[in-house]
Structure formats: structure tokens, C-alpha cells
Structure 1
Amino acid sequence: MFRRVAIVGGGAAGATLLSELLERPVAQPLHLDWYTAGATPGRGVAYSTRSKLHLLNVRAASMGMFASRPTGFLEYMQKQDPSISGTDFLPRCWYGDYLEAETASALRRAKERGHDVRVVPYAVEAVVPENDGVTLFQGESTTRVEAAVLALGSLAPRPLPGVGDAAIASGRYVTMPWQFIASAKPDIKQHHVLVVGLGLTAVDILLELADKWPNARFTAISRHGGLPESHQSSASLPYEDCAELVETMCDAPDIRTWMHLLRDSVTHVDDWRSVIDCLRPHTSSLWQALPRAERARFLRHARWMWERARHRMAPHVAQSINVLEQSGRLRRLRGHIHGVALTDSGVQMTFLPKGETTEQTLDADIIIQSTGLETDVRRTSHGLLQQLMTNGHVRSDPFGLGIEATPDGRLLHDGKAWPRFFAIGSLLRGTLWESTAMPEIRQQARQLADRILAD
């Protein structure tokens, strides 16, 4: 059992692990240091939004913080509004309130039970893992713990290749969309906004700015030009042949075979979503079964299709985006971006439309980059991860999907796993693939708490 533990990262993953540790009955008090880097404990980037236009893309009944209480969020919300249903897609800001409330409750109970919990509102600057413990450096302070966990969430996005320094310095090319839309003021000017990417973050950007800037028009560009699919208003019935499908996929870990199996399966159901959803509990084991070459093939050819089908919009969100398109305020393009330059009147993007050989240009007042989750530690500006990589304490996933680790979260170095140095959440994407949503994070937190507190 590790009694002195450090958790590095103040978002949902760190809060869930902290709360799991404090929920357990233990023979001796715990000493926990939680480094939140100044963020509101529990909310992180994912749930820091205050806009009610930004909805969860998972139904309320499945968003509990604890694996033992998956309906915890629904119960919390129904105390405030009994009319809320488990099938509702609720605002992410409400979920952030729930995480804050659960975390505060866990900290109060910890004090009553004699645990020593330090919430440190600063970032850890360096970590030195060893076989018998982990040392953390923060400012002039040095702390030695028995085990440490990285719960850093997604990394700060880097500008795309070809984006000019002048465009970035001008503020007209935005790489941190959440900060930008949170600070954007209502404006009636006829802005032209160019959004790079068409995932769920892009959808939130479009909804928020369309509301604040009623006369703005939007162009969204991505390699394939497709929006995320939409959830049905009501939940689908479970796919009856899921066990057989998963077994067949495990027997043939080949992307082409899997695509054929999935296409065949969806032709025999009323709603294709039931097939995709049935795979969710098995996705990590399926990913681990894929040889490296097949993982590479998936990332090159099938990832965009999986992301669209797996990470879907709430029905109300899909309707709002459709209204934007039908009214002419939003158009979608397919293409590869070649460069962005600052102009006298704004910014100009050079891109190659899909299927064409001649470059085109797009002029905009502002360009917002929204190209998905950033987990590539090889090129990150994150100081702690740079230190860990430079000193050889951790190593990158070969596809830039985070840090190499064992399936139970132990970080790897020189082909071996550190016995007391772990990660949770998005940095494990290369190992587990599904590692960013609350249903997966809470399961990781439960298993990691079991390991940390095991005799």
C-alpha cells in the first residue's frame, strides 16, 4: 500500500482518482498531494466552459464520477430539477459543477477521517521516478512520495505546419479555442470565421460564436468535411450479437476484416449506433490486440470514420448546426491546409481542395484551430513532459498518442515499467485508445486506486 501519493493534474481525471482514494476504508491515514496548476479543482479544460450551449455527448445517466455509482450525476441533477431524465444531454457546465461538488465533498470527508490532503495550486516542474519512490520539484520545494500519478489531460495545441508567425502573433490565428470563445464579447459585425477541424470542439465553437456574433458567417474545413454523427433522441436497444462480433474481431485483428464485419453488422440492425456502442467496453482490448502495422492502418484510413461514429453530437446540437447550414451561415469544405499568412485585412489560408490539383485561398477575419485532442509528447511545449522525455524517464507512444504504458497505467522506460509512477486519462490513449471520456476515466481511477491501496 502506498500511503503518500502525488497526483499531478487538476482536471476530471485527477479529481476522480483523488476521490476514489479518499472513498476507500484504509487502516492508516493517507497523505495526498494534488497539484492542480491553478485550475479550478475538478473542472479542467473539458468542463471549464460556462456556456449552456455546450452539451455533454453522453446521456446524463452514464456520467457518474464513480464506477460504483454510474448514475451519480443524474442523481445530483435530479435533486435540483426532478424533471431531468437519464436520457437527457445536459450542459457541460452543469457537469463541471457536479465534479466540483463531489471533489469538495471528498475533501471534507478526508479531513473528518484524518487524511492529510494538500491541494497545491501550482504546476510540478520536474519529476524523478525511481524504483523505491518518486521525487517532485515545484519552485524551491522538493517532495518525496511513495507513488505519483500523471493526470494531465490533453496538451496545449500546436499551430499547424505552414502557419506564419505573424498570423499567430496577431491573435487572428487561434490555437486555444476554449479561452477564445469564453472571452469573446457579443458583436454585430459581419465577421468571417474560418474553423479548422470538424469535431465536437469545432461544433461548440460554431454554436457559441453564432450566438454571440449573429451576423457572422462560418467556413469549416477538414480533410473529409464530415460533421460528427448525431445521437438518437432515445437510446437504442443493445446489439444482440455483440459478444459474437467482439469474439470474431479478436480472432482476426485486421482493420480490413473489422471494417467488413462492422458494415455487415449494421445492415442487420435498425440503428447502426447500437453496433458502435456495444464495442465501447471492449475497445481497449481490441486496440491492444491490433499489431502495430494494423494500428497504423487504422490511424491512416479509418480513424476519421470511427471518430465521427463514436463521438456523436447531442440531437439538439445537431439540429442547431443544421439550422446554421440551412440558413447559409455555415459551409463545410474538404481539403488539406498548406499555409496561413497575415494580410492587411485579416488572415488568408492556402489549401488544396480534396480531389483537386490546384491550390485555393480563403480570406477570413479570424481562423480558429480545432483539430482534436493533442497528446503528442514528442513535440509538446509542456515543461514537465519535456523534462521527463529529455531525461528518459518516459517514452512516447510510436504514433504520438501519449506516453507508453502498461494497460494498468504504469509508465514505461527502457522497456520496463516503473513500479510507482503511473498515468491516467488521455496520456494513455496509445495503450488503451478509449481513454478520454468519463466512463473510461472512472474505471481507470477505480483500478488505479485498487493498485495504490493494495496490501
Structure 2
Amino acid sequence: MTVHGLFTKVAPEGAGARAKPHIAIIGRGFSGVMMAIALMKSVRAAFHVHLFDPQPTISGGQVLAAAQSGEILNSRVRDLSVAAGQPEDFNDWLLGNAEFRAAVSAAIPGFQQIFVPKSIFSDYVYQRFSEALTRRPDISMQLSCQAVLGLRKQANGRFLMVQEGAAVECDAVVLATGFGLRRGEMEVAEEEKPLVRARRLVVPRHTVLLGSGVRVVDRLLQLRDNGFAGEVTILSRHGFLPQPHTRLAAAPTFPVEPMPTRLGEIVRFVRQACAEAEATGLGCQA
């Protein structure tokens, strides 16, 4: 089975998988993928890992991979390494990405201070996941695209996960749903399962956003792009929205000439670029 590029090491659950400790991870987003990476790096014994998520693909995070093209992370590259003890791992990965390096050629000496699109970070996390799996041929992995409706601990100490028309036993369960579960989304009582299946999507008419920074503005734009026409309430301690620093939109512009390498030449290069931008009415921020 081949899923999303490099990920090819998916095996059905058979006798070999059952002989190993069976670890279930509910959620195949960023939290679930990171948990899988941590297990593959820290657990020395062989085991079978079962990833549950209604989404049919695997990536560096369902929310990250599905982000709109203009949606960026609100943390800098310097704070986003997924490799313990290697704080510059994400930056090094970006430097090795020829397409990204060509698109953001002005970053000096690396990309530590910039904010990148969520989809780029998803690709990085997914590649690190694939590499960790490749290094562990003793680990078997299984994907399930059915939602987990119930979870019960049995008398033998194992766990039973209830899905639509099926049940799976495992030795350990990790809830990696990222944003958490609302009450009623995952119940253990058999009599309550029909309520879960009968639930219908409800379109909200009133949304509350906490904070008033750039991330909230980003969320407001997403709501508008997705057709939300309800009421929005923003709760903020200070009550200020991000203020523009220019009268006109400061769309990024890049000089045609390559960036110099010596510090003094770089300063003159940037000053000249700012002067040219202001002369054309763009402003130095562009």
C-alpha cells in the first residue's frame, strides 16, 4: 500500500503483528504523527502501531496539510524543530529544499527568523516520519480510516476500540486528537453509540475568538473565505487589532540583482532596495 509519496511501509495486521505489542494512536494529525516518531525513536523493542483517523491519507498533520495557500504558522522556523536536541533541524531541512530556497533567496544566513506556510511544515514533519519508519524495519504499521466511536478497558488489561461495525484490541492507546474531543464525540457506552452516528454537522451562527493578534485576523479571513456569514465576537485583554504601518498594502517585492555576501554590501543593497520601493510608492516595508 502506498500512501502520500514516500510512505510505503504499511502492513496488514497478521500473525506477526499480533505477536508484537500493539499500540494504537487515535488521530493522524500532527500530534499523532509526532507520537509515532517519538515511539519509533525511543522504544527499542519491536512493536505494531495502528494509526486511526477518518482521513484516508497520512501527512505531517491533517490541519497543516489542508491549510489554505496563504496560511502561515505563527511560530518562527527557529522554534519548530521536531528533532530532540537539534533545534536547527527544520532550518537545515529548508536549506536543503532547493525549491523553497529559490523562492526565499533573501534569508541570511538561514531561515530561522521567518514564518513559513503550514503546508511546508507538514512536508517536513512527514519526511521526518518517513525517515524514522525506514530506520525501524522491525516495526509494523497499520492505517485505519474509520473513526473510533468507543474505547473500553477490558478485564485482561487490554483496550477495545469500537469502530463502525468492527472492534480492535490493543495493549496501549494514545489519544492524539490535537484539538481535543467534544463531549459525546467518543463515548464508551454501547447504548450511546447511535447518538454519535446520528449526529449531523451544524453550521455555527456565532463564533468567539480569543485574542486580537495576527492569528485571529488570519482566522477571520479563513472564516470569510469559507463562506461564514454569522456573528463574530473577539475577546481581547487590550482591545487592539493589528495596525497597518503603511497607507498602501506592502506586498513583498524582490530586487532582480542577487543578494551580496559581505555585511557592508548587504546594508547598502537593502538601503538601495528600500529607496527604489519608496520611489515607486510601495514603501520600504515591501
TM-score range (shorter-chain normalised) is: 0.5 to 0.7
- Structure 1 position 19 matched with structure 2 position 37: yes
Alpha-carbon separation, structure 2, partners of 1:152 and 1:34 = 11
2:146 pairs, out of 119, 122, 135, with: 122
- Partner-residue secondary structure (3-state), 1:26: coil
Amino acid at match of 2:219: I
Alpha-carbon separation, structure 2, partners of 1:126 and 1:101 = 31
- Partner-residue secondary structure (3-state), 1:126: strand
Alpha-carbon separation, structure 1, partners of 2:164 and 2:52 = 12
How far 1:149 sits from its partner (Å)? 0.7
Alpha-carbon separation, structure 2, partners of 1:4 and 1:106 = 18
1:134 pairs, out of 159, 165, 170, with: 159
- Structure 1 position 61 matched with structure 2 position 78: yes
Alpha-carbon separation, structure 1, partners of 2:40 and 2:163 = 24
Specify whether residues 46 and 201 from structure 1 end up closer, same or farther in structure 2 by C-alpha distance, changes over 3 A only: farther
Equivalent residue runs for 1:47-196 within 5 Å? 48-52=66-70, 54-80=71-97, 81=101, 83=107, 84-110=110-136, 113-130=137-154, 132-155=157-180, 173=205
How far 1:138 sits from its partner (Å)? 1.8
Query: Would you identify which runs of 4 or more consecutive aligned residues in structure 1 move more than 6 Å?
Result: 324-327
Alpha-carbon separation, structure 1, partners of 2:209 and 2:74 = 21
How far 1:152 sits from its partner (Å)? 0.9
- Partner-residue secondary structure (3-state), 1:21: helix
Alpha-carbon separation, structure 2, partners of 1:124 and 1:86 = 39
Q: Report the identity percentage.
A: 21
Equivalent residue runs for 1:14-413 within 5 Å? 14-24=32-42, 26-27=44-45, 29-38=46-55, 40-41=57-58, 42-46=60-64, 48-52=66-70, 54-80=71-97, 81=101, 83=107, 84-110=110-136, 113-130=137-154, 132-155=157-180, 173=205, 197-199=210-212, 201-207=215-221, 221-224=233-236, 226=238, 321-323=242-244
RMSD of aligned C-alpha atoms? 3.8
How far 1:39 sits from its partner (Å)? 6.0
Amino acid at match of 1:146: D
- Partner-residue secondary structure (3-state), 1:61: helix
Larger CA Rg, structure 1 vs 2: 2
- Partner-residue secondary structure (3-state), 2:122: helix
Specify whether residues 326 and 127 from structure 1 end up closer, same or farther in structure 2 by C-alpha distance, changes over 3 A only: farther
How far 1:32 sits from its partner (Å)? 0.7
Amino acid at match of 1:17: M
Alpha-carbon separation, structure 2, partners of 1:227 and 1:95 = 31
User: TM-score scaled to structure 1, two decimals?
Assistant: 0.37
1:48-87 C-alpha deviation (Å, 9 max, x unpaired): 30323x2222220220123233322212111112744212
Specify whether residues 35 and 132 from structure 1 end up closer, same or farther in structure 2 by C-alpha distance, changes over 3 A only: same
How far 1:204 sits from its partner (Å)? 0.9
Alpha-carbon separation, structure 1, partners of 2:49 and 2:175 = 14
How far 1:21 sits from its partner (Å)? 1.2
How far 1:323 sits from its partner (Å)? 3.0
Specify whether residues 209 and 221 from structure 1 end up closer, same or farther in structure 2 by C-alpha distance, changes over 3 A only: closer
Specify whether residues 20 and 156 from structure 1 end up closer, same or farther in structure 2 by C-alpha distance, changes over 3 A only: closer
Aligned length: 197
Specify whether residues 39 and 68 from structure 1 end up closer, same or farther in structure 2 by C-alpha distance, changes over 3 A only: farther
How far 1:47 sits from its partner (Å)? 5.1
How far 1:125 sits from its partner (Å)? 1.4
Alpha-carbon separation, structure 2, partners of 1:56 and 1:22 = 26
How far 1:14 sits from its partner (Å)? 0.8
- Whose helix fraction is larger, Structure 1's or Structure 2's? 1
Alpha-carbon separation, structure 2, partners of 1:209 and 1:226 = 23
How far 1:95 sits from its partner (Å)? 0.9
User: TM-score scaled to structure 2, two decimals?
Assistant: 0.56
Moved more, 72-81 or 41-50: 41-50
Alpha-carbon separation, structure 2, partners of 1:5 and 1:68 = 26
Unpaired segments ≥5 residues, structure 2: 1-19, 184-200, 249-286
Alpha-carbon separation, structure 2, partners of 1:105 and 1:227 = 45
Specify whether residues 97 and 22 from structure 1 end up closer, same or farther in structure 2 by C-alpha distance, changes over 3 A only: same
